[in-house]
Amino acid sequence: FKMTTVEEMEAATNRLLETGAKVGADAWQFRVKNQTPHCKFGEQGVCCRICSMGPCRITPKAPRGICGCDVHGIVGRNYLKFTAGGAATHSDHGREICNTLGHAAPDGAYKVKDPAKLIRIAKEWGVETEGRDIYDLAHEMSELALSEYGKNHGVSRWLKRAPQHTQDLWHNAGIEPRAIDREVSCALHMTHMGCSSKPEALIRQSLRNGLSDGWGGSMCGTEFSDVLFGTPKPIDTEANLGVMVAENVNIVVHGHDPSLSEMICEVADDPEMIAYAKEMGAKGITISGVCCTSNEVAMRRGIPMAGNFLQQENVVLTGACEAIVVDVQCIFPALGPLSKCFHTKFITTSPIAQMPDSDYIEFSAGTALEKAKEIVKTAIENFKNRKPDLVYIPDMKQKATVGYSVEAIVKTLDGVTNSQVDKTGTTKPLVDCITSGVIRGAVAMVGCNNPKIRPDYAHIELMKKLIANDIIVVASGCSAQAAAKAGLMDKAAKDLCGAGLKRVCELADIPPVLHMGSCVDISRMMVLVSELAKDSGLNISQLPVVGCAPEWMSEKAVSIGNYVVATGIDTFLGVDPYVSGSTEITELLTSGVKDWVEASYTVEKDIDKLVDKMIERIEEKRTALGI
Ligand code: NFS
Ligand code: SF4
C-alpha cells in the first residue's frame, strides 16, 4: 500500500498549470500572490461597515467607531454575521431537499428510496404512519419539514435526538434554535447598526444560529436526502484527478445539492445517452465530482471524486472536461473565464449561484429529468471540440471505501468487540472499543482547504498522526476528499494505524478514516455522538471525541464550528475566524462558552501543535473518566 503524498499532488498541479500557461489561464495560486498580505483590519475582524457613517476601523488611537461601538462589539457582530451566512446557506440547501421530497412520485424523477427511514422520522415527529401510502407520507413530511423553517412557535423538532443533558444545557443557556430562518433573521437583526454590541449576547446567538443549522437545516438536508436517494452504505470508489477518463465524455458535478447531481448520474447511465456519446466519438461517459455534491454521489453511487475545493480549477486544466455542472456554494467564479480558455462548458443551474461566462440551464425539482438530459447532451456534443494537444490527466488516483452513515457505522462495528455476541443495533460495541482503550478516541475531521495552509497537507498529516495513535477519524466535506486522494480511505491504510485501531479495522473490515459524507452530513456526526453518549451513559462532553477543521475557509464552516461546540465537542481550528482583534470575543470562544455548553474552541495555526493538542485533549478526557 502506497499513499499519494501532497508533494506528488503538487507536482501534478504544477504540470496542469503549465497547460494553463499555454492558454493564458489564471489560477488561484497566482491570485493568492496578488492578495497577499491581506488587510490586517479584516483579518482581526476590527473593521465595521454596517452603516454609512463608517467604515470604522478600530486602532489604539481610534478605540471606538463613530456610533461608539468598541472593538468587542464589532468583532462579535462580524462573527455572528459570518455564522448567519453559513447557517443560511446550509439551511437553504436543506430546504431544497425538503422541497424535492414534496416532488417525489412513484413514476416521477424522484422516488422514496428509503421508505423505512421516512417512517422512522415520521414516528419521531409524531406523524401517523400506519397504513399510509409512502408518497402521501413523504408529501406530508415535506410540508412539515418546510414549516420548520418558519414556524411561529416552539424549537427545532430535531433537538429531541440529543441526550436530555444536552437539551437541558441548550435550554438553560437560552440557545435552543427556534424556526430555522428565524435564527438567521434574528442574527441579522441583532447585528444591525444600533442593536447588540454585548459580546455575550452576540456569541449566544452565534451558537443558537449554528444549532439551527446542524440541528435544523443541515439535518433536514441529510435525513431527507437519505429518504430520497438512499441511506449510504459502504461502497468502493476512487479519488483524485486520475478518475477522469481521456477517451470518455467527462462531466464533473460540483456544488452541493444531490437533487441535481443524482439526476445527472441517472441520465448519464441511460443506454441511449451512452450510445449518443459513442456516436459523438467518445467511448462512454464518466461522471466525477468536486466538493460536497461529489461526496453525496460517491456515498450513494460510488461515483469517483475528482477532487476537493482547491482542485476545482485543475479539473478544467486537464483539457478533458466537457462540462463542469454546478449548483450552489464553493464554486469559484474563476471557472467562467477559465472554461473559456478550454472547450469546457461551465454550466450553472441555480438562480442562487449565477456567474458570468457560464451557460445557464435552470434546474428545478419539477423539470429535473428534462433539464438533466439537456445538460448531459450539451456535454456529449462538446466532446468533438476538445483540443487534443491540451489534454493531460494526471495518472493519480486512490481506492476508497466510502458511505459510512450512522446506520452503516452501527451495522459495521456491531459485534466487533466480541464476534460471539448478537448484533446489538447500537453503538455499544464502539463504546466498548473506546473504553477498553483499543481505540483511544475519535476525531471528526471536517471542512475545506485553504491556501493559508498548505492545501490538504494539514488534513492528511493530522489524520496520519491520529490513526497512528489509535484514534479513529470520521471525515466529511473536502477533508474527506483530502483523505481519499491520499489513500487514507483505502482499507489497506490500516497498516498506518496503531495496533488497536488496526485490529478494529481488520475485524470490522473498514478503513481507518470513515467517510461520513458532505458538510451538511456533519449532522450525522451529531447523531452519532448523541447515540454514543446515550449508549455509554456519559455526557457528550465527557466522550474522548473532538472536532477539527484545520484548513477551513467558508462561512458555513463557522456555523458548523458553532454547533459542534454547542453540542459539547471541543473544536480545533487551524485558521483564525477573524476574531483575534477582540480579547473578549476570543476569550468567550476559547473558554467562556464552556460554562454554557461544556466545550470550546482552540485555534492553533501550527499544524504539529494542533494535532498534539487534540491528542492531549482526548487523553485528558480519558483520564477524567478513569479509562
Ligand atoms: Ni464544506 Fe462543501 Fe468543501 Fe468547505 Fe465548500 S465544499 S459544504 S464549505 S470547501 S468543505
Ligand atoms: Fe462605524 Fe458604528 Fe456604523 Fe459600525 S455601526 S460603521 S462602528 S458608526
Alpha-carbon span 163 to 538, nearest angstrom: 9
Please tell me whether residues 466 and 534 are part of one structural domain.
Answer: yes
User: How confident is the model at residue 21, as a pLDDT?
Assistant: 98
Please list, in sequence order, all residues whose beta carbon lies within 8 angstroms of the beta carbon of residue 565, skipping any fewer than 6 positions away.
207, 210, 547, 571, 593, 597, 599, 600, 601
User: Which of 89, 291, 459 has most ligand 1 atoms within 8 Å of its beta carbon, as the pocket-test mutant?
Assistant: 291
Q: Which residue owns the Cα nearest ligand 1 atom 9?
A: 448
Cα gap 13→30, rounded to integer Å? 13
CA of 348 to the centre of ligand 1 (A): 18
Distance (Å) of CA 210 to CA 26, 207, 217, 525, 540: 35, 5, 10, 15, 17
**What local confidence, expressed as pLDDT, does residue 546 receive?**
98
The set of residues, in sequence order, having a beta carbon less than 8 Å from that of 60 and lying 6+ positions away, is none
Q: What is the pLDDT of residue 418?
A: 61
CATH code for position 321: 3.40.50.2030
Rg value, the chain, Cα: 24
ipTM rounded to 2 decimals: 0.95
User: Are both 514 and 432 inside the same structural domain?
Assistant: yes
Same domain, yes or no, for 383 and 457?
no
- Among 296, 448, 449, the mutation site with the greatest number of ligand 1 atoms within 8 A of its Cβ is 448
Ligand 2 geometric centre to CA of 309 (Å): 34
Identify the residue whose C-alpha is closest to ligand 2 atom 3: 51
> Please, which residues bridge with residue 471 across strands?
441
Number of folded domains in the chain? 3
The string of DSSP codes covering 25-74 is ---HHHHHHHHPSPPHHHHHT-EE-SSTT--EE--SS--S-TT---HHHH
pLDDT tens profile 578-592: 999 999 999 999 999
Q: Is residue 585 within 8 Å of 79, Cβ to Cβ?
A: yes
Of 488, 521, 431, which Cα lies nearest the Cα of 226?
Answer: 521
CA atoms of 11 and 394, how far apart (whole Å): 10
pLDDT (tens digit per residue) in 131-184: 999 999 999 999 999 999 999 999 999 999 999 999 999 999 999 999 999 999
Minimum CA distance residue for ligand 1 atom 4: 448
> Could you list the residue range(s) of the whole structural domain that residue 291 is in?
241-390
Could you tell me if the CB of 75 is within 6 A of ligand 2?
no
- Which ligand 2 atom minimizes the distance to the CA of 68? 2
**Residue 522 in domain:** yes
User: What's the CATH number where 97 sits?
Assistant: 1.20.1270.30
Whether ligand 2 lies within 6 angstroms of the CB of 391 is answered as no
* Sole residue written with cell 438536508: 221
333 with 469, same domain: the answer is no
Q: Find the helix or strand (DSSP H, E) in which 513 lies.
A: strand 513-517
Cβ neighbours, 10 Å, residue 621: 20
52 CA to centre of ligand 2 in angstroms: 8
| CB of residue 69 inside a 6 A radius of ligand 2 | yes
In whole angstroms, give the CA distance from residue 163 to residue 160.
Answer: 8
Whole-model pTM over 0.90: yes
65 lines ligand 2 (CB under 6 A): yes
Q: Looking at ligand 1, which atom is closest to the CA of residue 330?
A: 5
For the CA of 64, the nearest atom of ligand 2 = 7
Cα(463) to centroid(ligand 1), Å: 18
The verdict on residue 602 lying in a domain is: yes
- For 568, left (φ over 0), alpha (ψ -120 to 50), or beta? left
Q: Which residues of the chain have pLDDT under 50?
A: none
Please indicate, yes or no, whether residues 408 and 363 belong to a single structural domain of this protein.
no
* Residue 234 belongs to some domain of the structure: no
Contact 295, 476 (CB under 8 A): yes
Does the CB atom of residue 54 touch ligand 2 within 6 A? yes
Separation CA 326–CA 152 (nearest Å): 34
pLDDT tens digits, 456-502: 999 999 999 999 999 999 999 999 999 999 999 999 999 999 999 99
In a domain, 18, yes or no: no
Considering only CA atoms, which of 256, 509, 255 is closest in space to residue 403? 509
Residues 80 and 191 grouped into a single domain? yes
Q: Does the residue 496 lie in any domain?
A: yes
Phi, then psi, of 602 in degrees rounded to 5: -125, 130
Q: Choose the residue to mutate in 91, 292, 485, 553 for probing ligand 1, maximizing ligand atoms within 8 Å of C-beta.
A: 292
Q: Which ligand is nearest to the CA of 48?
A: 2
pLDDT at res. 423: 80
Q: What are phi and psi of 541, to 5 degrees?
A: -65, -15
In this structure, which ligand is nearest to the CA of 519? Answer: 1
Q: Which residues line ligand 1 (CB under 6 A)?
A: 256, 291-292, 308-309, 330, 447-448, 477-478, 518-519, 554, 556-557
Domain's final residue, options 358, 390, 422: 390
Cβ distance 216 to 161 under 8 Å?
Answer: no
Q: How many CB atoms lie within 10 A of CB 436?
A: 11
Is 451 in contact with 483 (CB distance < 8 Å)?
A: no
* Ligand 2 and 188: CB distance under 6 A: no
